[in-house]
Amino acid sequence: MSSSTTGAKKTVTFTLDGSNRSTTLPVLSGTLGPDVVDIRKLYSDLGVFTYDPGYGETASTESRITFIDGDAGVLLYRGFPIEQLAEQSDFIEVAYLLMEGDLPSPAQLEQFRRGVTYHTMVHEQLRRFFDGFRRDAHPMAVICGVVGALAAFYHDNLDINDARQREIACFRLIAKIPTIAAWAYKYSLGQPFMYPRNDLSYAENFLYMLNAVPTEPYVNNPILSRAMDRILVLHADHEQNASTSTVRLAGSTGANPFACIAAGIAALWGPAHGGANEAVLKMLAEIGKPENIPEFIRQVKDKNAHTKLMGFGHRVYKNFDPRAKIMKETCHEVLGELGIKDEPLLDMAMELERIALSDDYFISRKLYPNVDFYSGIILKAMGIPTSMFTVLFAVARTVGWVSQWKEMVEDPSQRIGRPRQIYTGAAQRDYVPLSRRG
Ligand code: SDX
């Protein structure tokens, strides 16, 4: 393979060994990040596919929404650094930014905020869906089912090729996911559902529906709602991660957005992805006390133990996950403001991080804390049960999923996703009747 730059155009030439076949393919450059080789003519020219299980080196789409520089530990939402947005913005403004591409004017922000606020209620018949679940069902199973069921209420008037109907679907999903998530929690408790309130911010409303009861007034805690808002901002979007790629693949078939977001929820649930925040708390509980950390680290390094340091490592970040840094700072702030002096889990997490970051096994593999390592400790301090951690991730990531879905549907070049494979199964052979089999 060789590359060249003729004029402004960069190209790369592939020559197939043992044949006189070669092809010269265009190299495309984005605003930031690595160039990409456009391989759309590779098979027609050379009769070969590329092979990249897990898509570690493959760009599946063009996007203008989020950019990550994994080596520099940079995360940008529409070009704005996550550190600035976490400090100066709020979730609804970030939602507008991800959906629309730029920071809103005051009037645009107010209109967007109202658009979300006035879609937070769900159809009253949707309440009955919850009754079909066991009270001890995992809330991710519940929200996955209920979000998919939204299609039963809106699918008949949802033309994804109609911009106005796409916009309403996005508002419905962003607005209703906190209500559905909070009701999944209330259902598990056997407590009455709390209806959303139009006088509260997105984060305040979510905490209200999670924690309020009809029998007494609810007092919003500004420390907790500010922390919740920041956690939602940090989790809002993250390029073409597994769940976002699931949403895009489902959307590429023309499936309705409710079905696509339900698919994203299902993918996020996995412990290698959004389920890691819940897994971190379980891991810290299993370690039990700091003196057990060296033995745990030994197990992680022993391949036969099949033990991972949950909340560590990332496909893209080979340096600190910037969200983990902000989450760690927020953790200290929230615990301090809540008057929680010594949180054993935080002490344990910090000791685990210190030991791991001084151990060559992790350094050589560029394993650093990711967004999930500290988030669970804050959420636990905020009174959120472990089973709801990934649900909260899904509430935040719904904004990213609908933004990416909308970008995909509106991309004139998009086509149904259909990866190829390398086949290593049996060559063609004839059927053997049962009577002739041993
Ligand atoms: C999220 O993609 C995104 O953007 C996701 C996300 C988002 O916002 O959408 O950032 C959210 O999912 C964060 C990641 C949360 N998951 C975890 O914390 C679970 C623990 N992490 C690992 O499962 C793992 O690090 C992954 C899944 C996150 C990344 O896996 P990769 O990129 O496929 O890396 P790998 O498995 O090829 O690991 C390379 C090496 C291997 O060792 P060797 O075979 O080379 O000897 O590092 C080891 C792995 O065994 N390794 C770990 C490890 N993660 C990788 N060893 C111990 N503990 C870990 N956590």
Q: What percent of the chain has pLDDT over 70?
A: 98
Look at ligand 1, atom 34, and give the residue with the nearest C-alpha: 315
pLDDT tens digit string along 374-424? 999 899 989 899 999 999 999 999 999 999 999 999 999 889 999 999 999
Q: What is the pLDDT of residue 89?
A: 98
pLDDT tens digit string along 42-57? 999 999 999 999 999 9
Q: What is the pLDDT of residue 81?
A: 98
Ligand 1 contact, 314 CB (< 6 A)? yes
More confident residue, 158 or 98: 98
Phi and psi at residue 9, to the nearest 5°: -85, 130
- CA 114 / ligand 1 centre spacing (Å): 39
Q: What is the pLDDT of residue 2?
A: 61
Contacts (Cβ under 8 Å, ≥6 apart) of 216? none
- Could you tell me the CA-to-CA distances from 377 to 226, 265, 285, 356 in Å, in that order? 16, 22, 12, 18
Q: What is the pLDDT of residue 17?
A: 87
* CA separation for the pair 356, 368 (Å, rounded): 8
Confidence category of residue 193, pLDDT binned at 50, 70, 90: very high
Q: What is the pLDDT of residue 345?
A: 87
Phi and psi at residue 191, to the nearest 5°: -95, 155
Confidence category of residue 158, pLDDT binned at 50, 70, 90: confident
Look at ligand 1, atom 27, and give the residue with the nearest C-alpha: 272
Confidence category of residue 199, pLDDT binned at 50, 70, 90: very high
pLDDT tens digit string along 341-382? 888 888 899 999 999 899 999 999 999 999 999 999 899 989
Would residue 314 show up in a list of annotated catalytic residues for this protein? yes
Mutate to test the pocket of ligand 1, among 308, 325, 392 (most ligand atoms within 8 A of CB): 308
Q: What is the pLDDT of residue 72?
A: 94
Check pLDDT > 90 for residue 149: yes
Q: What is the pLDDT of residue 1?
A: 54
Ligand 1 contact, 241 CB (< 6 A)? yes
Measuring CA to CA, which residue among 373, 331, 375, 379 is closest to residue 354?
A: 373
Q: What is the pLDDT of residue 155?
A: 75
226 contacts 88 by C-beta, under 8 angstroms = no
On the CB side of 164, how many CA atoms lie within 13 Å of its CA?
Answer: 1
pLDDT (mean) for 31-36: 97
* CA separation for the pair 141, 167 (Å, rounded): 26
Write down the catalytic residue from 302, 314, 332, 430. Answer: 314
Would residue 119 show up in a list of annotated catalytic residues for this protein? no
pLDDT (mean) for 13-42: 94
pTM of the model: 0.94
pLDDT tens digit string along 79-116? 999 999 999 999 999 999 999 999 999 999 999 999 99
Check pLDDT > 70 for residue 191: yes
Check pLDDT > 60 for residue 7: no
Contacts (Cβ under 8 Å, ≥6 apart) of 414? 61, 252, 408
